[in-house]
Homo-oligomer: A and B are copies of this chain.
Amino acid sequence: MAAEVAYMHASKIANASGALRYLNRVGSSKVARLADSAPREVVDDIFSCALKKQTGVSLKYMLDFGANPIERQLILSAQFLHNELPVRLAHRVAELENLPFGLSAKSPVIKVRDWYVESFKELRQFKPIRDLDSELKFTELLKHIYHRHRNVVPVMAIGVAELKKELRAEGNGLTEFPEIHQFLDGFYLSRIGIRILIGQHIALHEPQRENHIGMICTKCSPVQVANDAIADARSVCMREYATAPEVSVYGDPRFTFAYVPSHLHHMTFELVKNSLRAVNDRFEDADNEPPPVRVVVAEGDEDVTIKVSDEGGGIPRSGLPRIWTYLYSTAQSPLPDMDDSVEGADGPAVLAGYGYGLPISRLYARYFGGDLQITSMEGYGTDAYLHLNRLGNVQEPLP
């Protein structure tokens, strides 16, 4: 019942305090820019919604919510999203209008903003949902929106790369820009939340799998997910190097907890892939077998922790901040094609080249109250700790 109440009261909670800063930051000339391409009433509606407070949910809420009969779930969930999504999208549009260093004026960023504006308009034009028939039409709209936003991460990456190129030309190449980093962290975290809400609603329409409530698996085995992710990472490594170091897994495969397996797979894949690369690069010319990557799954009362350790030589302490930045990438990073074959940010493959894998994985962990920490021993190897909150009652962070 708690979830139901939270969902139903969503639209009633409107607190301007947190959102006012957007309007303060968005000067008239900046608003005019969006006003150039959108009708006045849409612009007004967006900034009015950007003043409303976003309503967070938690993994536990989603699970409790799944205990309702399916028809009631569908209508309540659709009504919640119909109110909540425009608010979340409007927050992002207001933010995208006022980025520092001229990032707002980059055409890829304008493209992303227009996707948000378009989805906002469609949601606001949709009539109130009262029956299963309108719920079904609303779900079609959600699928359409989900698909429209699939390339947000790579397209934003192009905008950021353009900015980085300019900054480098001005001699600021690898300097940190905390404002940009903070914006991207918040922006991508918000995107994870929006896509989970939509994905979860769509999943309620699909045939229910055993031990699943939508995208959430109530009996998710971290050892099993890790084994799958290891197999995928080793096969990517095989394609790239024609060889792949061994990976040893320590932990009880029978242990399960409630989590979203696709997120867990994404994060573990990213960490194992990085470790395999480091080990391969270090032991390329060695005669002996390279040391195995070690994956330990630990079961605590608060957290489930997955540690991925390698002896791939590590990185210096001074280089550690770089692994988390969106502005740093290695020479091999190609810009993505803009055509439709580019996949969304929910599969790991598209991120491989952009150096976004670790910061995005950390956001996935933080979304449900966890964290990702990486420590390195220069000259030896790297340890990554993926902490996953086990209680699942941490409310989602809402940038």
Interface residues of A (CB under 8 A from B): 296, 298-303, 305, 307, 314, 316-318, 371, 373, 375, 377-381, 383, 385, 387
Contacts and interface: CB of A to CB of B under 8 A. Distances in A.
Nearest to A385: B375
A317 to B, nearest CB: 5
A371 B317 CA distance: 10
A378 B387 CA distance: 9
Contact of A305 (B299, B371, B380): B380
Given A298-B377, A302-B378, A305-B380, 20 more contacts: A298-B379, A298-B380, A298-B381, A299-B379, A299-B380, A300-B314, A300-B316, A300-B378, A300-B379, A300-B380, A302-B318, A303-B317, A303-B377, A305-B314, A305-B378, A317-B371, A317-B387, A375-B383, A377-B385, A383-B383
Nearest to A380: B298
A387 to B, nearest CB: 6
B301 A379 contact: yes
B301 A377 contact: no
23 contacts: A296-B377, A298-B314, A298-B377, A298-B378, A298-B379, A299-B379, A299-B380, A300-B314, A300-B378, A301-B316, A301-B378, A302-B317, A303-B316, A303-B377, A303-B378, A305-B314, A305-B378, A305-B379, A305-B380, A307-B377, A317-B387, A375-B375, A383-B383
Contacts of A371: 317
A381 B383 CA distance: 14
A100 B302 CA distance: 34
Nearest to A383: B383
Contacts of A380: 296, 298-300, 305, 307
Contacts of A377: 296, 298, 300, 303, 305, 307, 385
Contacts of A373: 375
A253 to B, nearest CB: 16
Contacts of A375: 373, 375, 383, 385
A342 B298 CA distance: 41
Contacts of A385: 375, 377
Of the listed residues A303, A371, A377, the one surrounded by the most CB atoms of chain B closer than 10 A to its CB is: A377
A365 to B, nearest CB: 11
Contact of A316 (B296, B302, B314, B317): B302
Contacts of A301: 316, 378-379
Nearest to A319: B302
Nearest to A302: B316
A302 to B, nearest CB: 4
Query: 6 closest Cβ contacts across the A-B interface?
Result: A300-B378, A298-B380, A300-B379, A298-B377, A305-B377, A302-B316
A321 to B, nearest CB: 13
A316 B390 CA distance: 11
Contacts of A387: 317
Contacts of A317: 302-303, 371, 387
Nearest to A384: B375
Contacts of A299: 379-380
Contacts of A305: 314, 377-380
Nearest to A378: B300
Contacts of A298: 314, 377-381
A371 B303 CA distance: 26
A380 to B, nearest CB: 3
